[in-house]
Structure 1
Amino acid sequence: MLNSDDRLALLELVNRYAYHIDLWQVDAWAGLFLEDGVLDESVMGMGRYEGQKAIAAYGAELEADVLHVVHLMMNHVILDAQSDRASGTVFALVEANTRSTGHARYYIRYEDSYVRTAAGWRFELRTIHPLFPPQNLSPA
């Protein structure tokens, strides 16, 4: 069972994910994952990135294409909690304006596995699932 400090730390982890990528703090964003952590967007057709270096490289690719982005995170629920591991889900609305696709809107669900480390809670695995088909609001 997790205490309230752990629950707040997991909420902070989820929110920092959005904060760091929206401000293009790519190294800090990748650092929220375990060294061998995984960001899996393959269900969305966007790839699977294993390890902090691969996640940071993906973040740099996004930064080169995305002009504006915002992640609105909500409904964070911790589904399974042990002393040093937990899983959870988070819903998000993501708005992005890119050079390649124009203005797009995504309603997504993150399925997460978290691990407590000496540096605090980190993502072991973050898998992204669409809730609705992506909306292209304007052409590139």
Structure 2
Amino acid sequence: MLSWEDRFALEELVNRYSYHLDLWQVNMWVELFAEQGTLDESALGMGVYIGHQAIAAYGSELQADVLHVVHLMMNHVILESDTTQASGCVFALVEAMTRSSGHTRYYIRYEDAYIKTPSGWRFGKRTILPMFPPQIVSPA
């Protein structure tokens, strides 16, 4: 069973994901993943990024294309497995203004696998799944 401290740390991990990404703190965002962690956006037609180097490169690509972004995270549920691993789910409304696509709205679900490392809880894998098709609010 997870302690309250672990549950709080997992909530903080999820919140820092959107905080660092929305403020373009790419290096801090990457550090939220385990060294060989995975970010899987394939269900949105994007890639699967494994390890800090690949996730950082993807973050830099996003930063070059995205002009404005905000992640509104909600309904985080932690499904525990033991004291060093857990899984969770969180829903989000994401608004993004990009050079290439314009203003797009995403309703998504994150399916997470968390790993407790010596540095604290990290994403072992974060899979992003659409809840609705992306909505083009205004084209580029």
* Partner residue in 1 for 2:100: 100
Give 1:27 shift: 0.7
Rounded Cα–Cα distance in structure 1 between residues aligned with 2:40 and 2:123 = 12
Question: Given the two structures, how large is their TM-score scaled by the length of structure 2?
Answer: 0.99
Rounded Cα–Cα distance in structure 2 between residues aligned with 1:131 and 1:4 = 30
Letter in 2 for 1:120: G
Check if 1:42 corresponds to 2:42: yes
* Partner residue in 1 for 2:67: 67
Number of residue pairs matched?
Answer: 140
Rounded Cα–Cα distance in structure 1 between residues aligned with 2:53 and 2:27 = 9
Alignment of 1:58-137 (within 5 A): 58-137=58-137
Rounded Cα–Cα distance in structure 1 between residues aligned with 2:36 and 2:102 = 33
Rounded Cα–Cα distance in structure 1 between residues aligned with 2:71 and 2:109 = 12
Q: Which deviates more, 78-87 or 17-26?
A: 78-87
Rounded Cα–Cα distance in structure 1 between residues aligned with 2:12 and 2:79 = 16
Structure 1 segments, 4+ long, off by >4 Å, are none
Rounded Cα–Cα distance in structure 2 between residues aligned with 1:98 and 1:20 = 18
Give 1:79 shift: 1.6
Structure 1 unmatched runs, 5+: none
Question: Given the two structures, how large is their TM-score scaled by the length of structure 1?
Answer: 0.99
Letter in 2 for 1:36: Q
Rounded Cα–Cα distance in structure 2 between residues aligned with 1:81 and 1:71 = 27
Check if 1:5 corresponds to 2:42: no
Give 1:124 shift: 0.3
Letter in 2 for 1:42: S
SS of 1:82's equivalent in the other structure is: coil
Letter in 1 for 2:58: Y
Rounded Cα–Cα distance in structure 2 between residues aligned with 1:8 and 1:81 = 16
SS of 1:133's equivalent in the other structure is: coil
